[in-house]
Structure 1
Amino acid sequence: MEPRELRRAVEAGRATASELGLRVDDVVVIHNSDRVALRLVPCDVLARVAPSGHLADSEFEVEVAHRLADVDAPVAELDPRVAPRVHVRDAFAISLWTYYEAAGSEIAPADYADVFMRHHAALRRIDLDAPHFTDRVAAALREVDDRERSPELTDSDRELLSGALRGQSAAIGIDEAGDQLLHGEPHPGNLLNTRRGPLFVDLATCCRGPVEFDLAHAPDEVGKHYAGADHDLIHRCRALNWAMFSAWRWRRDDQMPGRDHWRAEGLNKVRAALDCCGSG
């Protein structure tokens, strides 16, 4: 968010928590992108604040968290002191979560795979209407195919991303028999190493697809510890994920920090991933 919008988001998060009886003396910005994560102290709440245009996504995330809490999934929990709902204030959607102190050590590949297996097992135990991963691919393609939405994307790079999105999505989505609910974007930044053990965060990306779609977001070694994983499919999913990541970075209104770096890096990752799955 731009500085002015960020100040409004911080105040909306602070005011919402205070009105619910939580003490807020200070606010620390943990993450700032199209939505922000705020640590509220001393009540130790993590407030996730998004523009109200993302209200449906915020409500979906809260619903996912609420369902997964009932099946003991390894995910971050909503703050138990307030009702599990999204609050709207000053054109922002605000949800309040438990704040977890990081344990500090890096999560080993075998432990990463183990928390994946437990999370996927928990996801199989809930009934939730979630989009298929191909719906997200279609959204990325709309950004790539529309020159007004991605005006700075060159013709050759537009062709690269369009081909990767269409080709890998078609190859991955041929057989949906093994699809299940997934986290959707379980990269290392969305897996916290806490005193309770590793916990997944950012649950709004929940979708349906093969487990390899999730595994492709993790470091390469993780898939080797996940029983029954199709490693060729992981390579295809990784190429697709980098193509979607790149599509978002080339949006005209993308606000990811370091966007220029990630625009170039994302395209390089797409080319490398396509080479790994023989689609370069």
Structure 2
Amino acid sequence: MPISSMAHTISVRTRPAVQAAQEIARSHGIVAGQARVLHDANNVVVHLAPSPVVAKICLASVGDHGWRKLATELEIARHLIRAGAPVVGPSQELPPGPHVQGDFAMTFWRYQDHDPSAVATSQGAGQALAQVHEALDSYPETFPSFLDRQVKRAARILFSESVPSPLPTTEHAFLCSQYLSITSELDDRKLRCRTLHGDPHRGNLLVSKTGYLMIDFESVCSGPLEWDLSALPGLGANTFSGDEELLSLLRRLRSLCVAVWCWTRSRSSIALDRTARNHMDLLRLAA
């Protein structure tokens, strides 16, 4: 699970999730009195310090969508570990779950020490992703298209008439026009699809003393290789043989999806607003 260079303070919003994870940890003999929030977006991710355990927590109950996402991610991670892929796996300190405590569902993962400020080389990032792809090739289940996950989620936000748009007024029309332009170009292409990580950005790549490790498998999907390459840090995509024109198009689509997603949550995070604006700049440059 991701570990940021500066852990978030446990806030009024995240405290109930942290306490739920601590309760389950204590019931399994895990000491978690120094818990620190590592990530707070779709899920709350908590290092249950001083124990080498990380909890990934969401609002969910047994069997619902959030719970199933956590369960599927665990199964994918177990498969990748068995296949020898460079990933951070589930915790061995306690049953990884999914567990339910109150209003929260959660899974437990191995804490991986790493340097969040280290520069990820193109070769290292590309090789780690290639190994994950190879392991995913043998996964026995199929996954929804990337268009049915990140992309349609962005469309629902952009074109919803039932709720006010969370996007800045000055950017909304531009994002809508870009969405229609990019997806129209994609409709004219025949895509060669495979199983992908779905979101292999720098935050999901840990640089440890033993090498590069990938995390976060809840966005695993089916799509063209270039969709994963569009998220790779630096020039990692150069380690693959791909369609440069398609890659350029999907980088635009990736920036659009990231900008929309970040702006829906930016009220609680200056960093998310900054990320959204960075991707808007990239999108305008490429348009």
TM-score, normalised on structure 1? Answer: 0.87
* C-alpha distance after superposition, 1:150-190 (max 9, x if no partner): 24432x632322233333234346323x2111111100111
Aligned residues: 271
Q: Which runs of 5+ in 2 are unaligned?
A: 1-7
1:175 aligns with 2:183: no
Alignment match of 1:97 (pick from 98, 109, 121):
109
Match of 2:17 in 1: 9
Change (3 A) 1:79 1:170: farther
Change (3 A) 1:36 1:236: same
Give 1:219 shift.
Answer: 3.0
Q: Which runs of 4+ in 1 moved over 4 A?
A: 252-257
Q: Distance in 1 between matches of 2:58 and 2:75?
A: 16
CA-to-partner distance for each residue in 1:225-250, whole Å, 9 max, x for gaps? 22x22222221111001111112133
Q: Name the aligned partner's letter for residue 99 of structure 1.
A: Y
- In the alignment, structure 1 segments of 5+ residues that lack a partner are none
Say if 1:183 and 1:232 are closer, same or farther in 2 by CA, change over 3 A: same
Equivalent residue number for residue 26 of structure 1: 34
State percent identity of aligned pairs: 25
Q: CA RMSD in A?
A: 2.3
CA 1:181–1:220: 2 relative to 1, 3 Å: same
Query: 2:120–2:233: 8 Å Cα contact kept in structure 1?
Result: no
User: What's 1:166 paired with?
Assistant: 180
- Checking the alignment, whether the CA contact within 8 Å between 1:33 and 1:257 is kept in structure 2 is no
Q: 2:186 & 2:129 partners in 1: Cα distance?
A: 20
Match of 2:4 in 1: none
Deviations 1:176-232 (A, max 9, x none): 3x2111111100111001233211111101111011111111234211222x22222
Q: Distance in 2 between matches of 1:198 and 1:172?
A: 32
Rounded Cα–Cα distance in structure 2 between residues aligned with 1:5 and 1:97: 22
Structure 2 CA distance for aligned equivalents of residues 206 and 256 of structure 1: 26
1:211 & 1:149 partners in 2: Cα distance? 35
Query: Cα deviations across residues 6-38 of structure 1 (Å, max 9, x unaligned)?
Result: 111111111111112222232121122232211
Correspondence 1:140 to 2:154: yes
Question: Which of 57, 78, 93 in structure 2 is aligned with 1:66?
Answer: 78
3-state SS of paired residue (1:205):
coil
Task: Report the TM-score, using the length of structure 2 for normalisation.
Answer: 0.85
Q: Look up the SS of the partner of 2:22 in the other structure.
A: helix
Of 128, 142, 145, which residue of structure 2 is paired with 1:129? 142
Distance 2:178 2:134 in 1: 30
1:75 Cα deviation (Å)?
Answer: 1.4
Note the 1:1-280 alignment, pairs <5 A: 3-52=11-60, 54-103=66-115, 105-136=118-149, 137-147=151-161, 148-154=163-169, 157-172=171-186, 174-176=189-191, 178-226=192-240, 228-251=241-264, 255-272=268-285, 275=286, 280=287
The more displaced of 26-35 and 187-196 is 26-35
